[in-house]
Amino acid sequence: MPITEPESMENLIYFTNRTLEDGKGKIKAWVYKKVCPKCGKAKMGKPVEKGKVKIRAAEYTCPECSFTEEKTLHEESLSLEAKYTCPECGKEGESTAPYKRRSFMGVKAYVVECQHCKAKIPVTKKLKAIKKKSKETVDADK
């Protein structure tokens, strides 16, 4: 099933558009808001207090029925969708991955797999560089 690019940021929990590995590839990734599992009428989001969204909230709430779900439980049920140009093979593709950061080469990242060459493409936090093994470490491992 082909993934659809978002029309606006209102329907998203997460969005990023990055250049990978010195311009060899690029990735655009996003996570859509989930429809409320209780009422099914509205999309769940962070709670709104006094007209402002509570940024560091520990839960997600439904604006219609006020159903709340713990942040970690809610985010683990979501999936990250991405369109990319692979830095390994240079082909364009699209893929999905769980919306859960995992350790990748010493850095927490969402990891998307290339549909062509099966290379792992990390989506790290901004300004986080992937730790590469130095020549001394590689020689010591032998």
| Best mean pLDDT range from 17-31, 77-91, 114-128 | 77-91
- Full-model pTM: 0.77
Query: How does pLDDT run across 49-77, given as a tens digit for each residue?
Result: 888 888 888 898 888 888 888 988 888 88
CA–CA dist 78, 97 (Å, integer): 9
Q: Are 58 and 66 in contact (CB under 8 A)?
A: no
- For residue 32, what are its two tokens? 């859509």
Between 130 and 106, residue with greater pLDDT: 106
Contacts of 4 (CB under 8 A, 6+ apart): none
How confident is the model over 97-125, as pLDDT tens digits? 998 888 888 888 889 988 888 888 888 88
Residues 6+ apart with CB under 8 A from 62: 36, 38, 39, 41, 42, 44, 68
